[in-house]
Every structure is written in structure tokens, then in C-alpha cells.
Amino acid sequence: MRTIISLFLFFVLSVPSFADLPWLKVSGLNIVNQNGQKITLNGINLSNNVWGYWITGVSDSLESQGNDPMIRPQVQDDWVLTAADFERLKELGPKVVRYAINNELFSLDNPFKEANLAKLKQHIKKFDQLGIYVVVSLHNPKGLDVQNDNFERDKPVKTRLKSIFEDQNYWQDTLVMWQYLAKNLKDQPGVAGYYLFNEPRLPSDADGGIKEYTRKNNELCAAIRAVDKKHIIFVPEYNSRERNANEDGGIQSVVWERGFVKVNDNNVVYAFSFYEPYEFTHLGRANYDKVAVEKYLQDRVEWAKTVGQAPIIVAEYGLDREQTIERKVEYLKHVHALFKKYNLSAIYWEYKNAVAAFSKPLWIASLYGELTEKHQIIYNPDGTYQFQPWAEKAAKENKFDQLYEKYFWKNKTNVSLMDNQPIWDELQRFYQDK
């Protein structure tokens, strides 16, 4: 009997627990674990469909008014992270996932807020058991964000949607949301930290400019620290700014310049998106200047060392399908070598995204595509298929019909790596530091 009990205890204690991953913190210019071991957080982004869905009737009306037609989810879709996804991510081997959320999931008026929190904790636990850290990232804050900006930036300044740095009510809601999350995640070592917001825009001088932007960054850090003393806070580079009065340049009100602000916290990591040069990574240009790409990284590393006096990471990098697979892998090998040279953790964009008849294949940047709008396709009894009449035109114009035929229909699957196996292999090599 004693032998049986001993064997039982051995197997129980051998099962991975929620606390397997050690706590992380900042030490000088490095991220270290609680044992003082230097940690490199190379990983992959999970966008989790924070963009939302087209809802017929509602989205049509929004688009006709020049507004973003996508409706943000109040509940995370089940398809974004399934058991199969966890298995794939385990095989891929990232050290971290940057887990995107939209503000609607945890807003005060969302009746599903507690259920969303339970799902987030469940996902953190699963990743912990796989040895993968989670950075919780507010990808879509209230008001202006990187998605609806595609519609808002062409509007007059007085009528366009305000950002959290311009609207005090939006800002207060953001403080409350982050305090709610930090209070409920403060005891989870599998959480690497909190990513405050994604690719923010600096307000104009009339709305407080860099001074107000810095103050609000510090205010949010202090609000999180009031309930969570331990987790790292990830502070992003602003990737554009509002044009000031009588200032030339910019698309309507936007000036595309970037920069960091230093915050008053000693457990922070600064972060930036890296799609350099954009003409190569997203517009299909044939070549790029390797010296300029390295200089872009050098400037940010130098800022972190001399001004920020803290670690810095690449929060996003990658390419869409404008380039061939061969050119994409060649580029990734080059930037991976640079990341290693400059001691930079880097998080690839992205793991999986929804694809459908209205998708533009050349714009897809994810490793995996998942066909989420299955009702767009009619599956005939004779084993053939066709797109619904209302989806067929878009599928042909976008050449999505070719993508679907080659990677989904022929393989009898709704989830496909498409032609990204070489990229998968290069990411695996990068994560294994080979």
C-alpha cells in the first residue's frame, strides 16, 4: 500500500502545475527570472480576432457613413484558440505569446466580463503548462485604434474619433479596465506582463502633446502598480502623432513619426513594432537596404540603453504575402540574426487569422488561416463546391478562390498553414536559438 501511495504522489507531483514558470522581472537592460537567469522572450502574436466581424445590416450602415464596419467581440471566439492550436504552438516552440485583447471584452458594461476573465486565466494556465509566457496586450483600446484609424484618419480633425489620450472618459475607462485585469492576474507568474496599448498616436500640442502623453503613461503605470507590484509593464513606442495647427505634412491630421517616452517605473520593458522597410514587408518592393534596417534597430537599442535604461523588445515583425516565400525566409533570417546581435527579444506577427471570401490573400500575414465564414460556400452532394452568389464575385476578384482551392479544399480542412512551412521552420530555428 505504501508503494502504491508513493507512486501516486510521484505522478501527481510530476504533472505540470500552474506555477511551473518562474516569475520574470527587469534587471538592468535584461529580463531575468526569479533565479536571476537572463530570459529571451522570442515568440509569436495571437491576434485573437480582436478586429471583430462584419454583421450584415449594422456593418453596411457604418461603412456607408465612412466608419469602421467591423463589430468588436464582447466574447472571444472559441475558434481563435482550440486544443489543436495549443498543440501546434507547443510544437512551434515560442517562449512567449503576445495575447491581444480588445477593450470591449473587459469593459464595465459587458455582462460577459467575468466569463472572459475566466477564459483568459484558463488560456494562461494552458500556456504555463507548455512553458510559454503570456503578455496581455490591449490591442484595441477604446476610441481610436490601429484598425478604425484606417477610416478615421481621412476625416476632419473635429469630427474623427478621439483617442484615449484625447478623451478623458475613454482614458478613465482604460484605467479601470487595466486595474481590473491586473488585480485578477497579479498572482500569475505565467503572465510575463502587461502591454499598455498597441501602436499609440501622440496627441497634438492642443491636446497636451508629448507632456500629456507622458503623464498618462505614468498614470496608467501607477494605476497598475496600485494593485500589482510584480509584473513587468511593456511601454510601447508611439508610431505617429497628430499634426499641429499650421503644420505641413501628414495624411489629413497624421504625421508618421515615432518615438518613446520614459516612464517612472523600474520594472518596465520598452517595445516597438518593426516592419522595416514597410515597402518591402507589405508592398512587395523587390529589395531593401540592410544597412538602413540595422540602423533602425540600433537607434532604438541606443535609446533604451542611454535614456530608457531598461530592456527593449520587438513586439511585432513579419511580412504579408506580397513577397515570395523564399524572399520572406531570406528577410527573416537576416532580421533574426540582427535581433540576436543586439540582444533583442522579438515576437512574430502572427500565428492565425480568419480568412473568407472577402479576404485579400496578399494582405494575409498569419502563419495559419482559418475559414470562419463557412456559410459563404455551398458543398454539393457530388463532392464539388461553389461560393454563394453574394460571395463569389469578391472571392474571384481577390483571388481568394485560388487560395481556398489550393490550401483548404484540396486538403479537406478549414485550418491551413498554406505555403508557410518554410517560415514555420525558420521560426522554430529562431526559438531554439540555432
Output 192 or 240, whichever has higher pLDDT: 192
The answer as to whether 16 is a domain residue is no
- Given a cut of 70, is residue 29 above it in pLDDT? yes
- 243's CB contacts (< 8 A; 6+ apart) are 204, 249, 250, 252, 253, 254, 255
310 and 412 fall within a common domain = no
Output 254 or 434, whichever has higher pLDDT: 254
Domain C-terminal end among 297, 332, 350: 350
Using CA atoms, how far apart are residues 116 and 131, in angstroms rounded to an integer?
23
135 and 201 fall within a common domain = yes
Output 150 or 82, whichever has higher pLDDT: 82
Identify the band that residue 1 occupies on the pLDDT scale cut at 50, 70 and 90.
very low
71 and 39 fall within a common domain = yes
On average, the pLDDT of the chain sits at 92
The answer as to whether 275 is a domain residue is yes
171 and 264 fall within a common domain = yes
For the four alpha carbons of 76, 79, 80 and 82, in that order, the dihedral sign comes to positive
Identify the band that residue 157 occupies on the pLDDT scale cut at 50, 70 and 90.
confident
How many C-beta atoms surround the C-beta of residue 36 within 10 A?
9
336 and 387 fall within a common domain = no
3-state SS, one letter per residue, for the chain? CHHHHHHHHHHHHHCCCCCCCCCEEEECCEEEECCCCEECCCEEEECCCCCCECCCCHHHHHHHCCCCCCECCCCCCHHHCCHHHHHHHHHHCCCEEEEEEEHHHHCCCCCCHHHHHHHHHHHHHHHHHCCCEEEEEEEECCCCCCCCHHHHCCCCCCCCCCCCCCCHHHHHHHHHHHHHHHHHHCCCCCEEEEECCCCCEECCHHHCHHHHHHHHHHHHHHHHHCCCCCCEEEEECECEEECCCCCCCCECCEECCCECCCCCCCCEEEEEEECCCHHHHCCCCCCCCHHHHHHHHHHHHHHHHHHHCCCEEEEEECCCCCCCHHHHHHHHHHHHHHHHHCCCEEEECCCEEEECCCCCHHHCCCCEEEECCHHHEEECCCCCEEECHHHHHHHHHHCHHHHHHHHHHCCCCCEECCCCHHHHHHHHHHHCCC
346 and 366 fall within a common domain = no
Q: Note down the domain range covering 387.
A: 359-434
Domain C-terminal end among 329, 350, 371: 350
Q: Which three cell numbers stand for residue 276?
A: 522595416
Domain count across the chain: 2
Identify the band that residue 18 occupies on the pLDDT scale cut at 50, 70 and 90.
very low
Using CA atoms, how far apart are residues 305 and 309, in angstroms rounded to an integer?
5
The answer as to whether 176 is a domain residue is yes
The answer as to whether 10 is a domain residue is no
- Given a cut of 80, is residue 13 above it in pLDDT? no
The answer as to whether 208 is a domain residue is yes
Identify the band that residue 19 occupies on the pLDDT scale cut at 50, 70 and 90.
low
For the four alpha carbons of 283, 362, 196 and 145, in that order, the dihedral sign comes to positive
Identify the band that residue 4 occupies on the pLDDT scale cut at 50, 70 and 90.
very low
Give 416-425 pLDDT, tens digit per residue: 999 999 999 9
% of the chain surpassing 70 pLDDT: 94
222 and 320 fall within a common domain = yes
Domain C-terminal end among 350, 377, 393: 350
The answer as to whether 318 is a domain residue is yes
- Given a cut of 70, is residue 302 above it in pLDDT? yes
- Given a cut of 60, is residue 315 above it in pLDDT? yes
Q: Mean pLDDT throughout 179-183?
A: 99
288 and 188 fall within a common domain = yes
Using CA atoms, how far apart are residues 246 and 256, in angstroms rounded to an integer?
17
Using CA atoms, how far apart are residues 137 and 135, in angstroms rounded to an integer?
6
- Given a cut of 70, is residue 392 above it in pLDDT? yes
Per-residue pLDDT at 382: 94
Q: Which three cell numbers stand for residue 231?
A: 509584473
CB 377 within 8 A of CB 389: no
Q: Which three cell numbers stand for residue 414?
A: 478549414
332 and 401 fall within a common domain = no
Q: At 289, which CATH number?
A: 3.20.20.80
The answer as to whether 8 is a domain residue is no
309 and 392 fall within a common domain = no
The answer as to whether 9 is a domain residue is no
Give 209-261 pLDDT, tens digit per residue: 999 999 999 999 999 999 999 999 999 999 987 777 776 654 567 888 899 99
175 and 145 fall within a common domain = yes
Using CA atoms, how far apart are residues 224 and 113, in angstroms rounded to an integer?
19
Using CA atoms, how far apart are residues 313 and 405, in angstroms rounded to an integer?
38
Q: Mean pLDDT throughout 169-191?
A: 98
Using CA atoms, how far apart are residues 184 and 246, in angstroms rounded to an integer?
46
108 and 157 fall within a common domain = yes
Identify the band that residue 54 occupies on the pLDDT scale cut at 50, 70 and 90.
confident
Identify the band that residue 161 occupies on the pLDDT scale cut at 50, 70 and 90.
very high
% of the chain surpassing 90 pLDDT: 82
- Given a cut of 50, is residue 11 above it in pLDDT? no
- Given a cut of 50, is residue 7 above it in pLDDT? no
